[in-house]
Amino acid sequence: MTLQDTRTLEAHLLSSQRGLASLDVELDRLGRWGVTLRRCLERGGRLLVAGNGGSAALAHHLVAELVGRFDREREPFSALALSGDPATVTAIGNDYGYDQVFARQVMAHGRQGDILVALSTSGRSPNLLHAVDAAGRLGVTAWAITGPGPNPLADAADDALVVPCPGTPSVQDVHQVAVHLLCLAFETSAGVL
């Protein structure tokens, strides 16, 4: 490994560390989200999660933590990753355009009082913007977890956690930790309701 390679790694690590430090001011928001999500799901509501690429993988991870468990033994809760069914995603993409792949699913699965989490490093994905719009029309609360702001997705959502670090890889590092903090807040909120 060259000195330049080492500097590249150090720069990425520093960017991610700065992004992680920005979560200090987001702990109250993540705590509120955890309590709200727990209340929603305990009442029989559902979490819908959407993202593209690495954010889609993180959406699946969040769903797995709620249907399975994060850190504590508990009952399973209803959560769906909207990128999980290739037949649905490709059929909607073919028939309505890729911009509608999440919005159509929000309209199919979302009910008033449910929650949508839209994950995006850029905050500019048209399919997520359409999903948030569909959620608003149904009475589904939309939360966004994005990269640097301002961005359209954070502006469109009911609430947003915006990660101020540059570069998609660093934003993804921080999003992973933010999702884990949300899961921890969700699991520790039992009895707080």
Of residues 91 and 72, more confidence is placed in 91
The share of the chain scoring above pLDDT 90, in percent, equals 94
Residue 95 has pLDDT above 70, yes or no: yes
Domain 11-188 has CATH 3.40.1280.10: no
Residue 192 has pLDDT above 60, yes or no: no
Residue 193 has pLDDT above 60, yes or no: no
What pLDDT score does 190 carry? 79
Q: What is the pLDDT of residues 60-78, one digit of tens each?
A: 999 999 999 999 999 999 9
- Cβ(15)–Cβ(165) under 8 Å? yes
List the chain domain ranges.
11-188
Residue range 90-116: mean pLDDT, rounded = 98
- Cβ(166)–Cβ(91) under 8 Å? no
Full strand arrangement of the beta sheet holding 79-81: 79-81, 47-51, 115-120, 141-146, 159-162
Residue 44 has pLDDT above 50, yes or no: yes
